């Protein structure tokens, strides 16, 4: 697998992250070895005979009821800590670009 510059650029757009030039050089050096490691799975015989295992416990996990909480302060605390609030409104970027 050739992890060329186009793919790095494609991934940068996919995950909304920019690599610096230094990082790009580093990832180019490492990526082939990592993909080679991933490809060792091709040496496993009859892998297609097995169903994918997404979760280690084959039990149906319980869902819980949603309950309205009276602790609205907690919600406000979360917003206060992690966003830019102006009069309790979240300040957001522009939605329309020129």
- Residues forming contacts to another protein in the complex (CB under 8 A) are 7-8, 11-12, 14-19, 23, 26-27, 30-31, 33-34, 37-44, 47-48, 50-57, 61-64, 74, 77-78, 81-84, 90-95, 97
Distance of closest approach, residue 50 Cβ to another protein, in angstroms: 4
The C-alpha atoms of residue 56 and residue 75 are separated, in whole angstroms, by: 33
Going by C-alpha positions, the residue among 35, 27, 34, 29 that lies closest to residue 8 is: 27
Distance of closest approach, residue 24 Cβ to another protein, in angstroms: 11
| CB 3 within 8 Å of CB 33 | no
| CB 15 within 8 Å of CB 23 | no
**Residue 47 or residue 70: which is nearer to another protein going by CB?**
47
Distance of closest approach, residue 77 Cβ to another protein, in angstroms: 4
């Amino acid at each position: 697998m050739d992890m060329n510059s186009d793919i790095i650029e494609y991934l940068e757009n996919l995950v909304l992250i920019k690599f610096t030039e230094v990082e790009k050089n580093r990832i180019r050096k490492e990526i082939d070895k990592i993909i080679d490691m991933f490809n060792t799975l091709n040496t496993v015989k009859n892998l297609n005979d097995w169903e994918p295992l997404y979760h280690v416990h084959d039990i149906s996990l319980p869902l819980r009821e949603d309950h309205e909480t009276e602790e609205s302060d907690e919600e406000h605390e979360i917003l206060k800590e992690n966003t830019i609030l102006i009069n309790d409104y979240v300040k957001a970027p522009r939605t329309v670009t020129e």
